[in-house]
Amino acid sequence: MTSDTEPALDRLYADFTAENLRPLWLEIGDLMPESPRSRAVPHVWEWSTLSMLARRAGDLVPVGRGGERRAIALANPALDGRPFATPTLWAAIQYLNAREDAPVHRHTQNAFRFVIEGSGVWTVVGEDPVAMNRGDFLPQPGWNWHSHINVSDQPMAWIDGLDIPYQYAVDATFFEFGPASAGVTATPDRSQSERLWAHPGLAPVAQLGPTPKTPLLAYRFEHTDAALREQLTLEDAGRAATLEPGHAAVRYVNPTTGGDVMPTIRAEFHRLRRGAATTARRTVGSSVYQVFDGAGEVVLDGTPARLDIGDLIVVPSWVSCAFRTDVGLDLFQYSDAPIIERLHLGVPLSEGA
Ligand code: GTQ
Ligand code: FE2
């Protein structure tokens, strides 16, 4: 371009701006890279820090109508201070003091709780109080009324996973406050949803689906643990039962469909034997992992980090991720994979990296 076209070009760009226009040729490198380049970065949050800060919030900040929850979100360091772990997923530590309640509300965002320590809280879904114990996965599909009640003399913390950032991005969010009290008079060990749906391979004929949101509201650790233990025992016996050598995995599924528990969130539990390692992989879509037990190391795009119980790991799209352990490692994982798969995005869906 000659210098005498430059004033004209400057005027053209100024007019683009004035008319709210942007030329593709200045945007394409960022908008259409050869492969996904997440704005989010991989990051690890240590449980010891999270639980200490949640306890301090418990001492200083009340929980009640308006704020709704004493939940502290993991804010990806590269997402401008927004309370988003990844572009699609919310991750938070939530804390309730002894005898404290979090009020009833409902929202279109799909949610779950996962517990790595403590007990004494029931999450009430509709009229069904669901006990929360170590290792339990407790889905709460969107638009269910819910509250949390701590009926014990101990505080309790757990993690929340939701699709808040995704629903925010597509402007799909609705929210409603509920009654002042959940009206719970009993806190049974077994919820009504489990009494109906937690019998292996059996569905109540009066309620057969398919429904896109799981009716089973508690996936108890005793089942997760047994399933993983038996995969590894079968591997020992020479049967092809595991995902890769020394790596057992289960997916939490909706008993009415056999598919994911909720339309926007996939949840799995992975167990690595002593001395095992996963192959480095990258996928389109993002994940959050929490260390449930054991210890080890994660390598994210080549950078290693030590892992201990409770630590949370955020893996953005197309970031290579591998785990290894000397002593054994149990990992809870959730991701936005159902969104990616439903929209037929991410071709190729995954690739060794
Ligand atoms: O417990 O209902 O972390 O509505 C974020 C939004 C938890 C909850 C969060 C919520 C909840
Ligand atoms: Fe909620």
Residues composing the chain: 353
CB of residue 69 inside a 6 A radius of ligand 1: yes
Nearest ligand 1 atom, CA 102:
1
Nearest ligand 1 atom, CA 94:
3
Q: What is the pLDDT of residue 346?
A: 87
β-partners of residue 277 are: 324
CB of residue 94 inside a 6 A radius of ligand 1: yes
Angle at 30 between CA 2 and CA 85, to 5 degrees: 155
83 close to 236: Cβ distance less than 8 angstroms: no
Distance 258 CA to ligand 1 centre (A): 26
145 close to 179: Cβ distance less than 8 angstroms: no
Q: What DSSP state is assigned to residue 171?
A: T
For residue 34, the one-letter residue type is E
Distance CA 83, CA 68 (A): 16
CB of residue 159 inside a 6 A radius of ligand 1: no
Positions in the chain whose pLDDT score sits under 50: 349, 352-353
Distance 147 CA to ligand 2 centre (A): 7
Q: What is the pLDDT of residue 2?
A: 56
DSSP states of 73-97 as a string? E---TTTTT-S-SSSS-EEEEEEE-
The residue among 166, 83, 96, 88 whose CA lies nearest residue 124 is 96
256 close to 286: Cβ distance less than 8 angstroms: no
Q: What is the pLDDT of residue 347?
A: 72
Nearest CA to ligand 1 atom 1: 69
pTM score: 0.96
Distance CA 158, CA 145 (A): 19
Q: Which domains does the chain have, with CATH numbers?
A: 43-173+215-352 (2.60.120.10)
